[in-house]
């Protein structure tokens, strides 16, 4: 997850009064659904899932969660915020706006996609033995070269 319930309450404290919201299961579900919307709407241009250091994505997820939770409770407020979200996402997809990370750096596009330091490395998911887990030597060498270190 790229946001936590405290992120949501920092902006929309009234969500703390939703039915059953004190349950971490309910909170986790609301967050997962909002992040899924954010990822699906931006995945045509960006690599997803986003990391916790992507402040732009975190900001969108908090607002998306609010809209989803309040659509039937406060439809006018939710509708206005949804229009704002749509405009922000459109600007990101068109390239007239950029994402920003926690260091304040803009995530820039190279060609048609956003550059990623791990773009050429396939993710591996599994339940294998952690002791047998390895890091790709090619990735380690590439990262060392990026830092200006000499390779062997």
- Per residue in 115-140, pLDDT (tens digit) is 554 445 555 555 566 566 666 777 77
Mean pLDDT score of the chain: 84
From CA 137, how far away is CA 44, in angstroms rounded?
Answer: 30
Position 107 scores a pLDDT of 80
Q: Which domain holds residue 83?
A: 5-109
* Residues facing 110 on adjacent strands: 113
Contacts of 76 (CB under 8 A, 6+ apart): none
Share of the chain above pLDDT 90, in %: 54
Q: Of 63, 53, 48, 147, nearest to 105 (Cα)?
A: 53
Give yes or no for residue 59 having a pLDDT over 50: yes
Query: Which value, in Å, is the radius of gyration of the alpha carbons in the chain?
Result: 19
User: How far lies 8's CA from each of 79, 88, 115, 145, 151, in Å?
Assistant: 18, 18, 29, 39, 44
Q: Does residue 115 have a cis peptide bond before it, meaning omega lies within 30 degrees of 0? A: no
Least confident interval from 21-25, 36-40, 78-82, 148-152: 148-152
Specify the higher pLDDT residue, 119 or 107.
Answer: 107
Q: Of 61, 69, 58, nearest to 21 (Cα)?
A: 69
From CA 86, how far away is CA 41, in angstroms rounded?
Answer: 10
pTM of the model: 0.72
Number of folded domains that form the chain: 1
Within-domain flag for 78: yes
Position 118 scores a pLDDT of 47
Position 106 scores a pLDDT of 87
Least confident interval from 13-17, 22-26, 63-67, 131-135: 131-135
CB atoms within 10 A of CB 79: 13
Within-domain flag for 124: no
């Amino acid at each position: 997850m790229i946001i936590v319930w405290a992120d949501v309450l920092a902006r929309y404290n009234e969500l703390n009064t939703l039915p059953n919201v004190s349950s971490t299961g309910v909170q986790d579900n609301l967050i997962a659904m909002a992040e899924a919307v954010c990822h699906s709407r931006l995945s045509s241009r960006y690599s997803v899932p986003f990391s916790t250091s992507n402040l732009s994505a975190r900001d969108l997820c908090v607002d998306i969660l609010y809209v989803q939770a309040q659509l039937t409770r406060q439809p006018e407020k939710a509708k206005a915020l949804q229009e704002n979200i749509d405009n922000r996402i459109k600007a990101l997809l068109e390239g007239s706006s950029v994402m920003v990370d926690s260091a304040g750096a803009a995530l820039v596009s190279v060609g048609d996609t956003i550059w990623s330091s791990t773009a050429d490395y396939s993710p591996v998911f599994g339940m294998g033995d952690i002791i047998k887990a390895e890091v790709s030597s090619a990735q380690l060498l590439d990262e060392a070269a990026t830092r200006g270190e000499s390779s062997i």
